[in-house]
Amino acid sequence: MPNAIITATGSFLPPREVPNSVFLSHRFFGADGKLQERANPAIVAKLEEITGIRARRYASEAMTTSDLALAAAERALEGVDRERLDYLIVAHNFGDVHVSTRRTDQVPNIASRVKQRLRIENPYTVAYDLPFGCPGWLLAMIQANYFIRSGDARRALVIGVELASRVVDPHDMDCMIFADGAGAAILEAGEGPGGILAHATRSDTLIHGQLLRMGPSYNPERPADELWVKMDGHKIYKYAVRTVPQVARQVLEKAGCTLKDVSKVLVHQANEKMDQAILNRLVALCGDEDLPADIMPMTIGWAGNSSVATLPTMLDLICRRKLPPHQISSGDLLLFASVGAGMHISCVLYKVP
């Protein structure tokens, strides 16, 4: 049975950097529709303290989600015969959202648009989308892994992309968290000990399903039929810190590994304090201490939270040695973890061949 090996990666981070100072001129409202009493400098400083975000990346007005996905795909496909792709999977949440309308456009799906623009003629390159919140790219990797291990496929391109800046309420303090970006990985059938060793996914919808949702602007002057991203940040934080480490430990146990065996823990870049709390909780659950100081790379401080795109983007930066001092070597174990709207969690343990 072949293993699914990551043979190439690519990413696209928009060049436009948006510092926290941009939000000093915003009018922020609470969920009750009342103007925030705190001064903007205090609001912005508090957000930076909690999330670690100093800046984020926004796409240009001319770009859409499929543009970002295409850019990451082209970088991953450098030197690769794209006609031999069996699957092209795009994980995202909002489709193409144009500046002029702010409406979600997902027909045809993003994967079909990317395949068309890559000029792939092969009709058996199956192109489909996967909306699964922030863990979407990981779930797409899990699916591609099964296609390859079953013999149904030899090569798959998996993209995680988000253009979140178009769907955040400019009058909600949480708008400062989100960012834009895209990352991609190519999985190919290979032999040997490398590949996905174990994975786990869960969906806690009964109680937590609406912690992250779409809703009207907090500004009562905005049209009520406009929909923007809304979240119960504190509840999400508590859920993630309690639950993600449990799933991560489950994956380690499935693979017969310990946390000390892991070279890097790549956690969805949602909140710097939350990610650190997740790692601390995982350490406590596993009983493994004295981990390397650089075991958990972070990009959120300068790239923000690009949702589905954070993990594949970070992986590509490390593979290309653009996130010093982090690097990946043959034999390394990478533990991926992500949590997002649903609420969904996916974790994957991958061995570098």
pLDDT in tens, the chain (353 residues): 889 999 999 999 999 999 999 999 999 999 999 999 899 999 999 999 999 999 999 999 999 999 999 999 999 999 999 999 999 999 999 999 988 877 888 999 999 999 999 999 999 999 999 999 999 999 999 999 999 999 999 999 999 999 999 999 999 999 999 999 999 999 999 988 899 999 999 999 999 999 999 999 999 999 988 899 999 999 999 999 999 999 999 999 999 999 999 999 999 999 999 999 999 999 999 987 788 889 999 999 999 999 999 999 999 999 999 999 999 999 999 999 999 999 999 999 999 99
pLDDT at 288: 77
pLDDT at 104: 86
Residues marked as catalytic? 134, 268, 305
pLDDT at 191: 86
The Cα 147–Cα 150 span in angstroms is: 5
Residue 39 buriedness (CB in 10 A; 0-12 / 13-18 / 19+)? exposed
pLDDT at 290: 81
Tokens of 217: 């602007």
Specify the amino acid at residue 248: A
Contacts of 111 (CB under 8 A, 6+ apart): 88, 89, 90, 127, 128, 129, 159
Contacts of 243 (CB under 8 A, 6+ apart): 202, 204, 339, 345
The Cα 62–Cα 98 span in angstroms is: 8
pLDDT at 287: 87
Q: Cβ distance 85 to 97 under 8 Å? A: no
Contacts of 288 (CB under 8 A, 6+ apart): 258, 259, 260
Tracing tokens 């400019």 back to the chain, one arrives at 170
pLDDT at 272: 95
Domains and CATH numbers, the chain: 3-192 (3.40.47.10), 196-351 (3.40.47.10)
The Cα 69–Cα 183 span in angstroms is: 7
Residue 140 buriedness (CB in 10 A; 0-12 / 13-18 / 19+)? buried
